Structure 1
Amino acid sequence: MNISVFPQPDYIYIDEILRLAKFHDKYDFALEWYQDLETLILVDGKKTPYDEAKLKRMYYYLNNKGELYFIEFKVENKYIPIGDVTFSKEDMPIVIGNKNYRHKGIGFRVILTLAKRAKFLGYDKIYVNEIYHYNIVSQKTFEKVGFKKYKKTAKGFSYILNLKNNPQLE
């Protein structure tokens, strides 16, 4: 979805092995991510696995709320999807669905890239609606980019990133 006068790019290249690919209707590969109990707890706070219908509803909802991308990693000259992220001014849900790619700094690089996009689009601030109190890795990743806790929620915290005078975004 276009969230500004600038259209959503088909690809955002983060570096030589990592890119964001604009959402498309082929997403069956993601179903296993959303059936994994550990992943579900981190992203939904529940253990209820997704089925194809729920996955479709989620992706179409997110695609209507902001710029939905698949996170792709280059393996043997081919990009493979390893997660997803939605970028909007109000929220930035991110999932590294393939566990083999967690704890490698990918989430940080994706979030930093999208924060730079927000600055390019002229935003003053961007937000994360909620990160659960027990999802320490996600909290630390957003904080490393410069996000600050600004509000306690029922299950965690909301975050804000001031894009002005932020040296990481230059």
Structure 2
Amino acid sequence: MTSFKWRTLATDLAKKRTRSKPESSFNRTTPKKVRLSETVRLIPFDTLREESLKWYQDPESMRNIVGVRITYTKEQIQQMYEWQNDHGLLYYIEYKKDKKTQIIGDVWLAEDDYAIVIDKAFRDQHIGRMVTKYFIFKSKKMGRDFMTVSEIFNWNKASQKMFTRLDFFPFKENKDSWSYRKRLKNLKKDKHNLK
């Protein structure tokens, strides 16, 4: 069965697909806040936050996210978040400095995809790397063999650099992008444990 990619939501929203929910390995208990450092926390998705408009209504950011310079409406962002929340783990990324906290991005982990968005003002501070390391750990705890990023566009050199530094490798070429994957289990070790 072909997996619906959240990045195609802009073109599919008009059709408003209805799908039955697939079986999921995600534990559907209420997610908790996760403290990654003194300055960064993950906040489970609860409602559409106004900060999201800044990322998804910026054509340049959207080019890195969906491959074209478009913008999402507030309704499209809400639908995307609801779909992601139903099909994986969806968190906001919260940043705290000088007792002031703000939402600076979002992150989503599904069974066959991972996506992260960081506000332009907070890029190049290794926040994306820190968050991704946590989700690598989380994926290992869930017993996953791989962690997959379905699409990193050829012009998004910063994302390519971050993921390759975390030992993701390109494994599938698409029209203007590559899918990346990270092996989470040592196959030799796993084969040895089966004996």
Secondary structure at the aligned position of 1:93 is classed as strand
CA RMSD of aligned residues (A): 1.6
SS of structure 2 residue aligned to 1:154: coil
The match for 1:123 is: 144
Does the CA-based 8 Å contact 1:3-1:66 persist in structure 2? no
Alignment of 1:5-84 (within 5 A): 5=27, 7=29, 9-84=31-106
Contact 1:126/1:163 (8 A) holds in 2: yes
1:168 corresponding residue in structure 2: none
Q: Relative to structure 1, is the Cα distance of residues 155 and 78 closer, same or farther in structure 2, using a 3 angstrom cutoff? A: same
| Match status 1:143 vs 2:157 | no
Quote the Cα distance in structure 2 between the aligned partners of 1:86 and 1:24: 13
Q: Please give the TM-score of this superposition, normalised by the length of structure 1.
A: 0.89
Task: Tell me the distance in 2 between the aligned counterparts of 1:109 and 1:129.
Answer: 20
Distance 1:5 1:33, change over 3 A: closer
- Distance across 1 between alignment mates of 2:97 and 2:111: 31
CA-CA distance at 1:64 after TM superposition: 1.7
Q: What residue is the counterpart of 2:120 in the other structure?
A: 99
What displacement does 1:62 show? 1.3
Asked if the contact 1:23/1:68 (under 8 Å) is kept, the reply is yes
* One of 161, 165, 170 as aligned partner of 2:182: 161
For structure 1, list consecutive stretches of 5 or more residues without a partner in the other structure: 166-170
- State the distance in 2 between where 1:67 and 1:46 align: 25
Figure out how many residues of one structure are paired with residues of the other and give that number: 163
Give the secondary structure class of the aligned counterpart of 1:127. Answer: strand
Identity of aligned residues (%): 33
Q: Which runs of 5+ in 2 are unaligned?
A: 1-23, 187-195
What is the distance in 2 between the residues matched to 1:7 and 1:110?
21
CA contact (8 A) 2:26 2:88 kept: no
Give the superposition deviation at 1:127: 0.8
- Secondary structure at the aligned position of 1:32 is classed as helix
Partner residue of 2:16? none
1:6 Cα offset (Å): 6.9
Distance 1:60 1:75 in 2: 29
Q: CA deviation at 1:37?
A: 1.8
Residue 107 of structure 2 is matched in structure 1 by 85
